[in-house]
Amino acid sequence: MAWDLRNIHPLSDFQRNAKSFLTTLKESQSPIVLTVNGKASVVVQDAESYQLLMERMELLESMVGIRKSLAEFEQGKGIPLEEAFQHLQELHDIPH
C-alpha cells in the first residue's frame, strides 16, 4: 500500500498541532502517517473511518470463510444438515 506523501508528518508536528491535525483527519477521512526519526511509526485516523475499515475487514473475513466452506463442501468434506443439527443439539444439550 502506498501512502499519500502529503499525509506523512513527524510525530513532533502532530504533538504541536494536534487540534489542527484532528480537524484535518475528520474532514479528509484519510489516515496520517506519523514518523519518528524519519521512519513511519504510527498511523492515525478518525474514528468513523476506522469503524468502517473494521466493518469491511469483518465482511472480507466472512467472505473468505464462506469460500473456504464451499470449497470444502465441494471436496466432500461437509456433513448433511440433519447430522449437523443433531450434533449441535447434543453439543449444547438442546432437546430434540
Could you tell me if 57 and 30 lie in one domain?
no
3-state class (DSSP) for residue 56: helix
Q: What is the pTM of this model?
A: 0.67
**Which pLDDT value is given to residue 81?**
86
Average pLDDT across each block of 10 residues of the chain; the chain has 96 residues. List them in order: 77 96 92 95 94 96 94 88 90 88
Q: What is the CATH number of the domain that holds 24?
A: 3.40.1620
Report residue 3 as a C-alpha cell.
Answer: 501512502
Please tell me the distance from the alpha carbon of residue 9 to that of residue 3, in angstroms, as a whole number: 12
Range of the domain at 67: 49-91
pLDDT at 2: 63
Tell me how far apart the alpha carbons of residues 44 and 21 are, in angstroms, rounded to a whole number.
Answer: 10
Count of domains observed in the chain: 2
Position 96 in a domain = no
| Same domain flag for 33 and 60 | no
Q: Is 19 helix (H, G, I), strand (E, B) or coil?
A: helix
What's the pLDDT at 73?
A: 86
26/55 same-domain check: no
